[in-house]
Structure 1
Amino acid sequence: TDVAVVPSRGENFPFVIREILHAGVPVIAAAVAGVPEIIQHGENGLLFRSNDAADLAARLEEVISDPELLDRLRAGIRPVKSMAQDAEDIEALYRQVLERRHRPVLAPAQDTPVPLPGPSSPTTSIIIPVFNNLTLNRQCLESLYRHTDLTGVEIIVVDNASTDGSAAYLQQEEANGRLRLIRNTVNLGFAKACNQGARAARGEYLLFLNNDTIVTPGWLQGLRRCIAKDDAIAIVGAKLLYPDDTVQHAGVAFDDQKRVGHVYRGFHASHPAVNKERDFQVVTAACMLIRRSRFFEAGGFDEHYQNGFEDVDLCFKIRQLGYRICYTPECVVYHLESQTPGRHDNEKHNSRLFINKWHDHIQSDWLTFYKDDGISMKLLNYDNKGTPYFIMHDSHVSSIWKEAISLKKEGRFKEAVNSYRQALLCNPYDNRRYMITEDLGDTLEIMGKYEEAVTLYQSLLECTASPRFFYHLGRLHKKLGQWQEAIVHLEKAKAALREAVGPEAASREKVKGGENLPDKTFLPLSGGPTHDSFAPNPASGL
């Protein structure tokens, strides 16, 4: 359908027009009643005077005589919720009202007549929901015992009917007075388990922690210091790292299509962008400190979500109440991520529920964070799935790279190698990483570390069959006395050069010992690593 015509002589607030716009189709409609509130003339449709057939004919003539007009009108259609989405929103509002009327369901636990493990008046209650994964459960708790000052701290573990020996282990830990155990007979999921733990908690602060985490020294103090800076801070999130010291979480952001993701996933832990304290719309509940009073004021985790988006939803509820969400790099926790079976089974349901509930409140902010951190992004295009492809340049990478080049010129090769490697580590999405890798390979060759240089050029060839890289490998194999390998790679360099620049240009190229091949021989790359649903896919930086 190119355009829809709604010539009604009398309307209130027509749902049919909303459904048409929801389908992405421009509308020509009579300017009656509430129609002009939906149709902005010349932006997402055209209006004509009611009961004026000549004016309607004129509007139809406009779209017939100007085909590009329809494209402009389609582009001007803003996201419109369908009636089904409206119904879900209304249902969600009713549920919120009912939850608040029956707040005792999520009220803090009252005094219990039985003695409980831990301090009598804890300041912080650490709540860990678990389901199986005995090894992870043990590893998490042992890191807590080792790296946490447990003065004023209680540990509450909510076991969602584990069957792998976790229950017996946790019961023994409770018997030893190290934690409080809540044992469910069925798996209630993340939200319900966390709410159970929160109701049982006695601390002023609640700290939700995944069982696939390993805490480090000073982690809890870092969270406490941050939340104590301002009474308006309700939630604090942590720096979460993968075992290789790259970032899993340092704040959550939204792209221009309102998709959510970990904006710094994959960056190195030392990158300046992940080492500044600042506010976000969302932080993950894999390690989240929240004021107990604010948690219950917000109604806790929404139990309609099924192991996903509960933390995103909670953060939006907290911000709607006027409180801040803060990220601090002073709390460092290793996160193995998504180790619970079935963790992603309900992503579509959870995403749809969140969007229907919060669509109008989401702010696209990922590019703002990148800009603030000196990271420039140039959009190239979108693939057929709507995934954006970017060229990313990071000013932090630039400064380290320049330092490496300077050190190399001064003959300080060992220091230069360290700087090149740091430049490669800090941001794996900067598209100049291939050029930096080649610089590093050249430096290693100068130092006589031919085997290490060979490994680097082989990794580059896995990305693109550049004649330049084949040539470097041929030269290195020659220096290593590996004549057959040298001949093979030099022949491949010739073939790749002919393919890249054509037979005539290739015949004019003279490859001399020690000289670099011309820059024009680089072949373009597309794609690359991603770091969540909207993460930038670096295109060629060569």
Structure 2
Amino acid sequence: MDKTTIIIAQFGRSDLTLNCVRSLTEHHPHLAEILIVDDGSGSPDVAPLQSAQIERCTILSRPVRSGVTSSWNFAARFARGQMLVFLNNDVITTGLWCDSLIDPLADNSCVMTGVERRPAVELSDSIREAWKIDSLLSGWCFAIRREFFAQLNGFDEKLQLYFSDTDLQCRCLAQFGHGAIRTVENLPLQHLGQQTTKDLPTRSQQWNDDRNHFERKWNCSPSKSSS
């Protein structure tokens, strides 16, 4: 796994991040690189991560909050691994999973992998029919080859919090075709679900703003999903 970089973004809730990273390293003691991006939450939230002194873990502190999408791009610029794994900080590792997630990426026809799929309700019927898909990867844990990430120009930072992983998958499908995205199911991971954003006061407004930008960009009908 010396070719893999795990990227974790946080805004506050360093307790979640610590639990995430400790469980990850417990089962993957030989990970080459973990990058934690603190998105402007300030020194009190960074201090517990620094004092933990987790081996091969680098903390990147941003002075001003810019959103998880920008933080993902920011960390990717520092990453040394050939494979990038984007992991939410509210995920607990219960066994070995990293190699299984990135192994399909050795095939150049595979651009992205994820741990589960969700209905692609935010895409128009015409797009789903043209791409022959009815689902997309869930955004809480997914991997992509670094060279393809650069080729796709990373995440669209106009989508600050929501739909950025969906948009990346759309561009991936548009450029590389139906087989570019694969799912590796039943990996030993527990996603606690929306623990980072549940107390965010601007959450609803941000979801609407990001949804509107996504729909304008892809000329989709209004999304049927909600946040």
TM-score normalised by the chain length of structure 2? 0.83
Establish whether residue 156 from structure 1 lines up as the match of residue 35 from structure 2. yes
Alignment partner for residue 190 of structure 2, among 334, 359, 364?
A: 334
* Residue equivalent to 2:92: 214
* Residue equivalent to 1:503: none
* Residue equivalent to 2:82: 204
How far did residue 256 of structure 1 move?
9.3
How many Å separate the matches in 2 of 1:325 and 1:191?
20
How do residues 152-301 of structure 1 correspond to structure 2 at under 5 angstroms?
Answer: 153-163=32-42, 165-174=44-53, 177-228=55-106, 230-238=107-115, 250-255=116-121, 258=124, 282-301=136-155
* Residue equivalent to 1:354: 214
How far did residue 178 of structure 1 move?
3.5
How many Å separate the matches in 2 of 1:256 and 1:213?
24
Amino acid aligned to 1:237: G
How many Å separate the matches in 2 of 1:256 and 1:210?
21
* Residue equivalent to 2:181: 325
How far did residue 171 of structure 1 move?
1.8
How many Å separate the matches in 2 of 1:333 and 1:190?
21
Amino acid aligned to 1:132: G
How many Å separate the matches in 2 of 1:145 and 1:210?
15
- CA contact 2:95–2:189 (8 Å) conserved in 1: no
* Residue equivalent to 2:3: 123
How many Å separate the matches in 1 of 2:47 and 2:171?
37
How far did residue 161 of structure 1 move?
2.1
- CA contact 2:14–2:49 (8 Å) conserved in 1: no
How many Å separate the matches in 1 of 2:168 and 2:135?
10
How far did residue 124 of structure 1 move?
0.3
How many Å separate the matches in 1 of 2:182 and 2:99?
15
- CA contact 2:23–2:94 (8 Å) conserved in 1: yes
Amino acid aligned to 1:196: F
> Secondary structure, in 3 states, of the residue corresponding to 1:282?
strand
Question: Which structure carries more relative contact order (alpha carbon 8 Å, separation 6+)?
Answer: 2
> Secondary structure, in 3 states, of the residue corresponding to 1:321?
helix
- CA contact 1:281–1:316 (8 Å) conserved in 2: no
How far did residue 164 of structure 1 move?
7.5
How many Å separate the matches in 1 of 2:152 and 2:17?
29
* Residue equivalent to 1:511: none
Amino acid aligned to 1:356: R
Cα 1:220–1:357 change in 2 (3 A) is same
Larger Rg: 1
% identical aligned pairs: 30
> Secondary structure, in 3 states, of the residue corresponding to 2:187?
strand
How many Å separate the matches in 1 of 2:76 and 2:122?
35
How many Å separate the matches in 1 of 2:57 and 2:122?
44
More helix by share: 1
How far did residue 351 of structure 1 move?
1.2
How many Å separate the matches in 1 of 2:123 and 2:218?
13
How many Å separate the matches in 2 of 1:158 and 1:280?
32
How many Å separate the matches in 1 of 2:210 and 2:122?
20
How far did residue 149 of structure 1 move?
4.2
> Secondary structure, in 3 states, of the residue corresponding to 1:165?
helix
- CA contact 1:129–1:190 (8 Å) conserved in 2: yes
- CA contact 1:160–1:185 (8 Å) conserved in 2: yes
* Residue equivalent to 2:156: 302
Amino acid aligned to 1:165: P
How many Å separate the matches in 1 of 2:108 and 2:17?
33
How far did residue 177 of structure 1 move?
3.6
How many Å separate the matches in 1 of 2:77 and 2:105?
21
How do residues 64-143 of structure 1 correspond to structure 2 at under 5 angstroms?
Answer: 122-143=2-23
CA deviations over 1:445-502 (Å, ceiling 9, x no partner): xxxxxxxxxxxxxxxxxxxxxxxxxxxxxxxxxxxxxxxxxxxxxxxxxxxxxxxxxx
> Which ranges in structure 2 are unaligned for 5 or more consecutive residues?
126-132
* Residue equivalent to 1:111: none
More strand by share: 2
Amino acid aligned to 1:305: L
